[in-house]
Structure 1
Amino acid sequence: MTLPRAELSTAAERFGTPLYVYDAAELDAALARVRAAFGTARVFYAMKANPNLTLLRRMRAAGVGFECVSAGEIARAEHIGAKGDAVLVNGPAKSAEEYAAGARLGATFIVDRAEEVGLLPPRSKALVRVNPALAVSTHDHLATGAAGSKFGVTLEQAPGVLRALREAGHDARGLHVHIGSAIRNAADFSAAFARLMDLHPQTGDLEVLDVGGGWGVDADLAGIAREAQAAASVFGARLWVEPGRYLVARAGTLLTRVVGTKRTGRNFLLTDAGMTELLRPMLYGAQHPVTALWDGEAREKWDVAGPACESGDLLARDVPLPSPTPGDLLAIGEAGAYGASMSSTYLTRSRPAEALWDGSSWTLIRRRETPQEVWAAELQVVES
């Protein structure tokens, strides 16, 4: 949690809960850490982590590019004026709409399978995504570089895909690797880079080596950067990186109020936020720091449970907290990534509002939906 308790309480009173709040200073600090570690590497933000337009505009103003994995994300990039080498188009099953939109912006496509060579728009810029077939230190659902993952081509296939791109008239710029998210062990990156370097005798020098992101928020960025730069130098390539969660996770906090308590086989602290606001604990078993914004000594442990009629709707387990009362405010930290972006309207719940703290004042950067807005796209057919 990067913001003072008083400011968090002010935001909750002003905008209501559940509420996502972001600290602009931490957003800037995270980008500064990446640039300090990776030097002249080109930075692309993995937009799926948090696509709020205000945050995207801040990053664009700072010279950051964007990695997009859907037509909607490409549209967001275009909306804020990003184009050309500021846009990457990624994904294992790109649609015709996504190819066309990427081509219109002059984006670089990340080729995920050999068949894509024949699907790309004419004279496209492209990188070949390589799956290094590694077991990495993260949740199975986040391990994109594992042998059983759906992402990328094999090490054996990569040189042939590069050749096929060139023969088809495309600009085969280089290789791409992304082994997962929230990776705890820096040795996982070392292993991935080593497997890429083994390809150099077959590929020759390249223009770009894109090593993705996936670094845990406590990762040794300097160490990872040294090895990434060494790999790029083997190929004579410029280094590109694609942080997502690293740039926004710590800047974001989910504020939720206590609705009540319940004691059955466990102690449940019931809150007005749950899986529809923060899906990561249910989806990945993610553990977020939880802080009580009320005073008292922590005497009991509580399971923080949301309002959905789902047994898995738990934001945290066994959290030591002071004795709670309805209306008390709880802060769930490291929620800036894949929090608001994965929020849903399941149960016709309104997705949470979002606010940005600039060091002196709050700005609402996404208002809370009304129920009518949630169902606005539905066609209400009335039978005669």
Structure 2
Amino acid sequence: MLPLSGLTDEQLHQAADRFGTPLYVYSAAELDAALGRVQQAFSGTRIWYAMKANPNLTLLRRMRAAGVGFECVSAGELARAEHIGADAEGILINGPAKSDAEYAAGARLGATFILDRPEEVALLPAHARVLIRVNPGLPVSTHDHLATGAADSKFGVRPDELPATLSALRDAGHTLQGLHLHIGSAIRDAADFGAAFERVAALRAMTGPLEVLDVGGGWGLDADLHGIAAQAQAAAAVFGAALWVEPGRYLVARAGVLLTRVMGHKTTGRAFTLLDAGMTELLRPMLYGAEHPVRALWQGEQQQVSDLAGPACESGDLLGRDVPLPAGATRGDLLALLDAGAYGAAMSSNYLTRPRPAEALWDGQEWQVIRRRETVQEVWAAEE
């Protein structure tokens, strides 16, 4: 059994043989289990899914059926939320540089706006519902590209800007629902959350009582959710506010596996295992230095260490460094990259005119194709 993916080796071989590789596969059982862990830890808390982690319509419909709302950061994500039937009470719109089209779509859908900078007050549609995103100015234990609550990040309103922002919102006739806080993704040290919650709670003297405190997400996959929840609930109580959370990666990462086949081997100054998947299918290792657990689906008594190299003509096209694998892999052997359900398929690209991979969901009884594999003709269709 693969760790926490909910999928067996036999099921993964079946999916790869049936649908080809590269291929994203998901376990419905693990999707449900991840949501259940959040619901249990954050009892009574409103849960919003950060759609950017994985916007597949089938996954979104499952979450909507479970009562989850959606945090959207583009007009396209707003359109997805509308397409699956999310209503005004189930949509947040976030982002540091919203377009006119996004303000208009948010207004039409009745979404709650997450305000990211003071001058945005003048751009909001009339009588908007608003959460102010606060930047606590704290270093956090994650990759620089994932740190959103640091003093030098592009996100949020500085605490010293908050009084003037609150006044401007009132003068413009908008409704302040509360404050929003999100310090980053894949946070390694849970103490970072406690420090951020304390800093936002200290703003109570400026804001007075609030309806909502939204503390975002960003928890590591092995985080103590009950401990984080207790600290978040204490911060919300300072404001007399309801607590909201916005998990993204946590809800979908461990449910997803990227399946890829061995294309060959090569040794230069380093040893490489060549794969049919790479940066066009899984960008996180190149973008964030992300390390995904790997499971080789072939047998071999001895271990050998190699880098996992994709097919692109890019030196950075590596899915792993110094990965121990069973010796003796031959062309066509199957490899599984775990914890790939978040920011995997969502960030896949058509670089090199590579069709994006198919996606399939195991519902406990059978495989369901939830995104068919693109053809090369579809890749260039908009150019004709």
**TM-score normalised by length of structure 1:** 0.98
Which residue is equivalent to 1:374?
Answer: 379
Which residue is equivalent to 2:8?
Answer: 4
Separation (CA, whole Å) in 1 of partners of 2:287 and 2:313: 16
- 1:320 CA displacement: 1.1
User: Contact 1:159 / 1:199 at 8 angstroms: preserved in 2?
Assistant: no
Separation (CA, whole Å) in 2 of partners of 1:146 and 1:297: 46
- The secondary structure found in structure 1 opposite 2:340 is coil
Superposition RMSD in Å: 0.7
Q: Which of 134, 147, 150 in structure 2 is aligned with 1:143?
A: 147
Counterpart check, 1:328 vs 2:330: no
Which residue is equivalent to 2:164?
Answer: 160
Which residue is equivalent to 1:359?
Answer: 364
Separation (CA, whole Å) in 1 of partners of 2:320 and 2:364: 29
For 1:154-233, list aligned pairs within 5 A.
154-233=158-237
Which residue is equivalent to 2:283?
Answer: 279
Consecutive unaligned residues of structure 1, counting only runs of 5 or more, are 380-384
User: Contact 1:297 / 1:321 at 8 angstroms: preserved in 2?
Assistant: no
Task: State the one-letter code of the partner of 1:132.
Answer: P
- The secondary structure found in structure 1 opposite 2:92 is strand
- The secondary structure found in structure 1 opposite 2:383 is coil
Which residue is equivalent to 1:345?
Answer: 350
Q: Which of 7, 14, 17 in structure 1 is aligned with 2:18?
A: 14
Separation (CA, whole Å) in 2 of partners of 1:224 and 1:298: 42
Q: Which of 279, 302, 309 in structure 1 is aligned with 2:306?
A: 302
- The secondary structure found in structure 2 opposite 1:156 is helix
Q: Which of 85, 88, 94 in structure 2 is aligned with 1:84?
A: 88
Q: Which of 246, 249, 255 in structure 1 is aligned with 2:250?
A: 246
- 1:289 CA displacement: 0.3
- The secondary structure found in structure 1 opposite 2:205 is helix
**TM-score normalised by length of structure 2:** 0.98
Separation (CA, whole Å) in 2 of partners of 1:223 and 1:160: 34
Q: Which of 35, 38, 41 in structure 1 is aligned with 2:42?
A: 38
Of 240-249 and 162-171, the range deviating more from structure 2 = 162-171
Task: State the one-letter code of the partner of 1:332.
Answer: L
- The secondary structure found in structure 2 opposite 1:157 is helix
Deviant stretches of 4+, over 4 Å:
none
Separation (CA, whole Å) in 2 of partners of 1:319 and 1:119: 49
- 1:167 CA displacement: 1.6
Task: State the one-letter code of the partner of 2:117.
Answer: R
Separation (CA, whole Å) in 2 of partners of 1:268 and 1:131: 42
For 1:28-67, list aligned pairs within 5 A.
28-67=32-71
Separation (CA, whole Å) in 1 of partners of 2:224 and 2:294: 24
Task: State the one-letter code of the partner of 1:33.
Answer: R
